[in-house]
């Protein structure tokens, strides 16, 4: 018998293998190779380093976008197995004893929580930080007692170590009992597109060797279960008879646990017998983060650490925090702060392409950061993101002796956006540029901008203007410039000797002028060519044709903007009928929504469920599903029940749990339904149909000539890059015939090859373009089909992600599927395979337009494509809202508001951001001063306002307003009705005395009356002196509310002449009767006049105007509403019945004669 620590001599806890190629060639689970961050280097123009021999270090990170499989700590994985690993009867199969140490303080507290630490004679301690081959690195200590463990942890905690070239700091450790066992086994489960794979080998531990070649393999299709017979037959043939039943039970339970807990990867090496119990000694696992909603309660508090050696910078942590607060995507990875090339790129696909181009051109060692902002972030969030990057960019002290700025570049790049308002996001960037202007100038920074999409012209103009104003050189370009053309421009500044190819001139001009009401532009080369192929074959919906000009769809979700975009595209294509037949919205009743068809308004029905929508529209065969990630599965499952009608379902949401995505794919495949997505913008068939927002704004669709068919079909993952492909095709070919973005999640419903084979079968498609990505092996299937002749049409291909070879540690790219897990999945390897098979593969993405142009020219020369005349672009009406944003129209406002603005990044009260309202703690009085008076009143004035509200909040249930509120509440009415019934009693006799008192006493002072003179004047006018007198209170029994107010005013107001005058009047009136005192209404009215006149915040005219406008009555209404609502709630809480006034409290006084005798005397005679 051997006594081995958990995990064997060389084991480690990290999620090593990928779903595509999961098997280690070592004894232990391994983590992706990670090297230290780039040290500061001088400018290097040498080519990027060659690919490493091992797999590239592309590890997932926790984010809404990017890789969604996340490695967890070994301790957490074992805890989950201890809780959920059970036999078919529910009996537990494994009990985990493991303690996690994350601080030195844990050494003192853990024994009270885990008493076995003190009683177990031999313990094992090892780092639990996703470190591979810990044993070989001397990071596993065995045979220790608790004191020995404490000594070892103290020695390790915070210590820097290097493991296989990866440097990091030890800060987390797992402590377990040492186990004695005799045999070791290897078990691994990982997920593929259509199946899960269980690997088992009858030997495990450090000497397991090449499990790829040796392990037994059981493939379990999605949705299937495993049983003991299958497991035993497929996996356990080399296991002894005595141990086979227990191992069979363990593997079956392990797979059930794998599915139930949404593991994406689970490897145990070794699995051993401790007595009769099967025990996992060392474990590596990944979970699918998109399943958080389904499995979060079972997972509990899972710790998902960054890969060893990769600690987050404060800036990265800040951006991650921003990302969590927005529905957009914000990412930042700091690479080398001493470099000279900084990027701020919009879009996941574009961010990879810019990094590729920078590295391909030899500047990888100068690349400072990787990241993206996408998904329509707000101006404020974009500002915060830009400010963070600029703070890093300008961190070096330019005034330090000996420091000589060498110049830096900031590349603000991005594709053609689908729906992000470019002007808004650029506004945030410009705000950050203004803030850092001095530092940017001192560092000799130049900015290079390229962007397209909604409102891009205004955004680019703002950038140009900002550059001129700030004195910062900013080179600005739109979609007429190739996506990455600004990169060599920037490098020319850094090194004047840098040489790059000149920009490729477009063959055809965009068709933008007519979209704004002008004339159509001719092709750039002149003549009438460049239009659709003259020999296109009429189409009907079949296996190779998803969409036609008569395709009709239903939209799941109340996505009115997307529907309008689809209708605008339909109109531009001159369709006879809108492509949207109806919408499905389960949370509302059947109704209709109004949309535009050109300039005419039309109604589109909205249904509560899919069945009703499809029954009402039997011609519909496409669904565009905008359900959230949580609702995608049930909504698509319902749709698949109608597979006899639906042919295509597009799933827009990203972050759909991978197990549910795979189940959707399985069911769709069985029913012959084409799934596009998840995590996609969709697809477009020029002249026929578009899914949702594909192609962006309608002006971009027209500029890219998507209103009519071309001859080139493409397929990509990225929606944003689809727009770039549309743009490239429009400039260098006769346009797009069809384009599909299959989606960025790990398991898209359809693959590259699915759509390429459709294009191959479609005679109207003359040329195919593929934009692949790092990760996955689909491109090899395409290469094989090219070799076999199954794909014979010209195919131009490029796989983005070539920059991965230049990074020495993990980077999270923009899509969940964008991570390579072996050399086979790298972009370089796939590009090489496609090139060898006969595809046209350029040297870089920057050369992709030229490759497309040359390939298309050959088709023209061969007569494969015969260009017809370019049709005149359609003239599209523009929505008023968008035209207003562009400054093209104006109209008078319906009304004016000067106190509040909710249009910007945050709510403004009289110009004061709501964040400042709380930061400065201005209170209710401060808020009232902003919204009522449009200015900030002094603190004493705000406090007085709050006192008034408190003092007027209630005066018992007997007063008129409270009485009405109570009666209405007892009649069963709602709160608003009850409150209003009470408020309607406020007037001259109830509450209105505040206004009257303020006007009366201020008039007396202004006209120079004495106290007695005011009393005499009111007597002559036959009017009561408002604010004087009380039914109950008197000089002997003063109203404490008045006492409190007087004392505060005398102590805090700079002057109070009106109140003092009223107090002099009180001295005269109380001589007659002691209850003719200055009451609370009079005190409030007089004091508030003093506040308005004496605070310095108002002119005399403004103060008088506010009194006349009834502001004092407003104070009483606002304060008393508090009490009225209290009375309403009190009656509801007491469940009081309908109120009926008692008879004995009513004096009935009827007339002497009845109504009949007065009106109709003839009745008295009995007639």
Q: Write out the catalytic residue numbers.
A: 815
Give the C-alpha separation, 666 to 508, whole Å. 43
What's the CA gap between 546 and 675, in Å, rounded? 11
Give the bridge partners for 519, in sequence order: none
Beta bridge partners of 199: 188, 217
Q: How many CB atoms lie within 10 A of CB 113?
A: 9
Phi and psi torsions of 381, nearest 5° = -65, -35
Task: Let me know: does 597 contact 528? Beta carbons within 8 Å.
Answer: no
Q: How far is CA 1167 from the centre of its chain?
A: 85
Residue of 163, 182, 149 whose CA lies nearest to 1: 182
User: Of 813, 803, 1043, which is closest to residue 947 (Cα–Cα)?
Assistant: 1043
d(CA 556, CA 578): 16
First-to-last CA distance in the chain?
124
Q: Judge whether 187 and 211 are in contact, CB under 8 Å.
A: no
Contact at 8 Å (CB) between 390 and 337?
no
> What stretch of H or E contains 493?
helix 486-494
Q: How far is CA 645 from CA 318, 620, 640, 666, 750, in A?
A: 49, 7, 9, 18, 19
Rounded to whole angstroms, the Cα distance separating 168 from 151 reads 21
Tokens read off for 1068: 């005269």
Strands of 1014-1155 (E only): list them: none
Half-sphere exposure of 1111 (CA within 13 A, CB side): 21
Structure tokens at 760: 């191959």
Listed residue (985, 990, 948, 968) closest to 1127, CA to CA: 968
Beta strands in 503-568 (DSSP E): 553-556
What does the alpha-carbon distance between residue 450 and residue 478 come to, in Å, rounded to a whole number?
A: 5
Residue 1113, SS3 per DSSP = helix
557: which 2 tokens? 């979700």
Task: Please tell me the total number of residues recorded for the chain in this structure.
Answer: 1167
Q: Helix axis angle, 1080-1094 relative to 1040-1052, nearest 10°?
A: 10
3-state secondary structure of 1026: coil
Cis peptide before 265 (omega within 30 of 0): no
Are 60 and 296 spatial neighbours (Cβ–Cβ below 8 Å)? Answer: no
User: What SS3 class is residue 1096?
Assistant: coil
Does a cis peptide bond (omega within 30 degrees of 0) precede residue 871? no
Cis peptide before 270 (omega within 30 of 0): yes
Kind of pairing, strands 900-901 and 908-909?
Answer: antiparallel
CB atoms within 10 A of CB 992: 17
* 181: its two tokens: 């066992």
The CA distance from 333 to 809, in Å, is: 11
Q: Distance between CA 418 and CA 453 in Å, rounded? A: 6
Structure-block tokens of residue 862: 């061969």
């Amino acid at each position: 018998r051997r006594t081995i620590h958990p995990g064997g001599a060389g084991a480690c806890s990290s999620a090593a293998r990928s779903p595509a190629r999961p098997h280690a060639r070592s004894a232990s689970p391994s983590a992706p190779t990670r090297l230290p961050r780039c040290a500061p280097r001088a400018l290097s123009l040498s080519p990027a380093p060659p690919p490493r021999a091992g797999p590239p270090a592309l590890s997932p990170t926790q984010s809404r976008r990017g890789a969604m499989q996340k490695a967890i700590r070994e301790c957490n994985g074992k805890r989950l197995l201890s809780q959920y690993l059970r036999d078919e009867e529910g009996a537990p199969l494994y009990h985990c004893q493991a303690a996690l140490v994350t601080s030195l303080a844990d050494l003192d507290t853990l024994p009270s929580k885990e008493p076995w630490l003190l009683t177990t004679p031999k313990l094992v301690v090892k780092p639990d930080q996703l470190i591979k081959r810990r044993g070989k690195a001397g990071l596993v200590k065995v045979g220790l007692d608790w004191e020995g463990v404490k000594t070892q942890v103290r020695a390790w905690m915070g210590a820097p170590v290097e493991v296989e070239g990866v440097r990091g700091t030890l800060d987390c450790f797992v402590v377990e009992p040492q186990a004695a066992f005799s045999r070791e086994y290897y078990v691994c489960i990982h997920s593929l597109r259509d199946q899960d794979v269980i690997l088992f080998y009858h030997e495990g531990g450090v000497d397991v060797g090449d499990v790829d070649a040796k392990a037994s393999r059981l493939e379990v299709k999605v949705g299937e279960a495993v049983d003991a017979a299958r497991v035993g037959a497929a996996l356990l043939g080399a296991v002894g008879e005595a141990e086979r039943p227990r191992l069979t039970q363990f593997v079956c339970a392990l797979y059930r646990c794998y599915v139930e807990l949404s593991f994406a990867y689970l490897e145990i090496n070794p699995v051993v017998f401790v007595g009769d119990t099967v025990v996992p000694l060392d474990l590596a696992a990944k979970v699918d983060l998109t399943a958080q909603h389904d499995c979060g309660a079972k997972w509990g508090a899972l710790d998902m650490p960054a890969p060893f050696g990769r600690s987050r910078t404060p800036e990265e942590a800040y951006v991650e925090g921003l990302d969590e607060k927005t529905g957009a995507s914000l990412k930042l990875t700091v690479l080398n702060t001493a470099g000279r090339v900084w990027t701020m790129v919009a879009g996941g696909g574009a961010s990879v392409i810019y990094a590729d181009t920078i590295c391909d051109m030899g500047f990888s060692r100068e690349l400072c950061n990787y990241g993206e902002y996408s998904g329509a972030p707000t101006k404020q969030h974009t500002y915060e993101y830009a400010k963070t990057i600029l703070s890093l960019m300008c961190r070096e002290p330019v005034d330090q002796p000996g420091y000589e700025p060498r110049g830096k570049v900031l590349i603000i790049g991005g594709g053609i956006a689908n729906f992000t308002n470019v002007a808004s996001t650029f506004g945030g960037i410009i705000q950050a540029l203004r803030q850092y202007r001095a530092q940017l100038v001192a560092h000799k920074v130049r900015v290079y901008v390229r962007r397209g999409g909604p409102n891009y012209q205004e955004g680019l103009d703002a950038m140009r203007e900002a550059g001129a104003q700030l004195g910062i050189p900013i080179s600005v370009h739109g979609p007429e410039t190739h996506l990455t053309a600004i990169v060599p421009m920037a490098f020319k500044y850094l090194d004047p000797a840098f040489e790059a190819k000149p920009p490729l001139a477009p063959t055809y001009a965009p068709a933008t002028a007519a979209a704004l009401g002008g004339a159509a532009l001719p092709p750039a080369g002149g003549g009438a060519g460049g239009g659709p192929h003259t020999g296109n074959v009429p189409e009907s919906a079949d296996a190779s044709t998803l969409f036609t000009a008569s395709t009709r769809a239903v939209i799941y979700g109340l996505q009115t903007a997307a529907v309008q975009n689809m209708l605008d595209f339909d109109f531009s294509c001159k369709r006879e009928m809108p492509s949207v037949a109806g919408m499905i919205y389960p949370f509302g009743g059947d109704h209709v929504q109004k949309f535009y068809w050109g300039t005419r308004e039309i109604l589109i029905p909205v249904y509560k469920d899919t069945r009703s929508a499809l029954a009402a529209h039997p011609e519909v065969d496409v669904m565009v599903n905008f359900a959230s990630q949580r609702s995608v599965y049930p909504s698509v499952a319902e749709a698949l029940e109608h597979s006899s009608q639906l042919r295509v379902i597009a799933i827009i949401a990203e972050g759909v749990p991978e197990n549910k995505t795979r189940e959707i794919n399985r069911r769709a495949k069985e029913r012959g339904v084409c799934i596009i997505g998840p995590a996609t913008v969709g697809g477009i068939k020029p002249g026929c149909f578009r899914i949702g927002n594909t192609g962006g704004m309608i002006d971009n669709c027209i500029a890219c000539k998507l209103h009519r068919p071309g001859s080139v079909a493409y397929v990509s993952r990225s929606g944003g890059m689809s727009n770039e492909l549309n743009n490239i095709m429009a400039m260098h070919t006769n346009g797009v015939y069809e384009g599909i973005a299959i989606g960025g999640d790990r398991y898209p419903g359809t693959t590259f090859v699915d759509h390429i084979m459709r294009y191959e079968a479609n005679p109207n498609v003359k040329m195919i373009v593929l934009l692949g990505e790092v990760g996955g092996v689909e491109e090899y299937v395409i290469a094989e089909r090219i070799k076999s002749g199954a794909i014979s049409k010209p195919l131009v291909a490029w796989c983005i992600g070539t920059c991965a070879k230049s990074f020495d540690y993990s980077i999270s790219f923009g899509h969940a599927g964008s991570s390579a897990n072996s050399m086979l999945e790298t972009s370089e390897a796939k590009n090489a395979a496609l090139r060898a098979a006969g595809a046209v593969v350029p040297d870089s993405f920057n050369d992709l337009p030229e490759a497309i142009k040359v390939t298309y020219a050959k088709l023209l020369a061969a007569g494969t494509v015969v260009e017809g005349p370019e049709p005149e672009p359609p003239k599209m009406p523009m929505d008023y809202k968008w035209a207003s944003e562009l400054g093209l129209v104006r109209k008078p406002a319906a009304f004016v508001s000067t106190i509040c603005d909710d249009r910007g990044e945050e709510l403004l009260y009289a110009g004061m951001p709501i964040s400042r309202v709380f930061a400065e703690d201005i209170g209710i009085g401060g808020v009232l001063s902003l919204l009522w008076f449009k200015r900030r009143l002094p603190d004493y004035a705000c406090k007085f306002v709050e006192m008034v509200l408190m003092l007027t909040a209630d005066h018992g249930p007997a007063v008129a307003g409270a009485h009405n509120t109570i009666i209405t509440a007892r009649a069963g009415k709602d709160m608003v009705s009850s409150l209003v019934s009470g408020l309607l009693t406020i007037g001259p006799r109830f509450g209105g005395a505040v206004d009257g008192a303020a006007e009366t006493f201020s008039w007396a002072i202004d006209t120079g009356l004495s106290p007695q003179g005011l009393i005499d004047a009111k007597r002559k006018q036959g009017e009561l002196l408002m604010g004087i007198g009380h039914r109950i209170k008197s000089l002997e029994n003063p109203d404490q509310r008045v006492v409190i107010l007087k004392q505060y005013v005398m102590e805090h107001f700079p002057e109070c002449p009106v109140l003092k005058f009223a107090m002099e009047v009180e001295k005269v009136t109380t001589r007659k009767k002691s209850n003719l005192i200055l009451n609370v209404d009079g005190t409030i009215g007089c004091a508030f006049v003093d506040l308005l006149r004496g605070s310095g915040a108002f002119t005399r005219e403004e103060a008088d105007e506010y009194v006349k406008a009834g502001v004092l009555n407003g104070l009483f209404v606002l304060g008393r509403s508090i009490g009225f609502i209290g009375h309403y709630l009190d009656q509801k809480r007491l469940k009081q019945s309908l109120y009926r006034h008692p008879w004995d409290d009513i004096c009935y006084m009827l007339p002497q004669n009845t109504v009949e005798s007065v009106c109709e005397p003839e009745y008295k005679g009995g007639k």
